[in-house]
Amino acid sequence: MSRIAPLDPPYDDELKQAFDAIMPPGVAPLVLFRTLARFPRIYKKFRTGSLLDRGPLSLRLREIAIDRTCALNRCAYEWGVHVAFFAPRAQLTEAEIAALASDGACDSWSAAERAVIAACDELHIGSNISAPTWDSLRAAFDEAQILEIIALTGFYRTVAYFCNGLSLPLEPYGAALPGVASLRTSA
C-alpha cells in the first residue's frame, strides 16, 4: 500500500486530459501519477521536467538509460512499468534486460550503449562522468544527446525517490526487478 493514497476516478477534466496525454489508450493512469496529482504543484513540476517526450535519443538508448537508472536505484515500480511497456518496443532482449538489472555487462551492447550504461553507473555512484566515459559518449553522441542522457539519469533518480519513498506497489502488469521484493497491486 502506498504511503500516500493515490487519487481515484472520476478525475476533473484538466487532470483527465493530462492523464490521457501520457497514458496509452485503455491503460489506467499510473499509481505514481495519481499519487503526485493529489498535490497539483508537485504534479505540475513533475510533468514539466519529466522528459516524457521523445527527445534526441532513440527509444532503445532512452530505455537503456532509464532501466539502468531504475535498477541502480532499486526502483522496482518504475523498472516494472518501463520493462513492461517499452522493452519490447526498444528491442531489448531478455539477456540485456537482465544485464541492466545486474552488472550491465552484455555481449550484444554496442559501443554507444556501453557508454550510456557507464555514464549511468558513474552518475549514480559519484554524480560525475569520468574522462574515459566522456570520451566514449562524445564518440557516439552529440552534445544534446549527452545532455539528454544526464537529464534522464537525474530525472529517473528523482522518480526512484518518489516511488521508493512512497512505497508504491507495482502496477499489475509491471515486470519484476530481480532482487527487489515489492508488492503488486491487485489485478
Q: What per-residue confidence (pLDDT) applies to 50?
A: 73
pLDDT digits (tens, 9 = 90+) for 114-130: 999 999 999 999 999 99
Q: In whole numbers, what is the pLDDT of the chain averaged over residues? A: 93
pLDDT confidence of residue 185: 42
Name residue 58's beta-bridge partners.
Answer: none
What DSSP assignment string belongs to 106-167? -TT--HHHHHHHHHHHHHHHHSS--HHHHHHHHHH--HHHHHHHHHHHHHHHHHHHHHHHTT
CB atoms within 10 A of CB 107: 7
Class of domain 59-165: mainly alpha
Over residues 65-79, the pLDDT tens digits come to: 999 999 999 999 999
pLDDT of residue 181: 56
Look up the pTM and report it. Answer: 0.93
Written as nine digits, the cell of 47 is: 510533468
154 has a pLDDT exceeding 70: yes
Q: End-to-end distance of the chain based on CA atoms, in angstroms?
A: 14
What are phi and psi for residue 184, nearest 5 degrees? -100, 150
Domain definitions of the chain by residue range: 13-48, 59-165
Q: Is 183 helix (H, G, I), strand (E, B) or coil?
A: coil
3-state DSSP assignment of residue 11: coil
Peptide bond into 178 cis (omega under 30): no
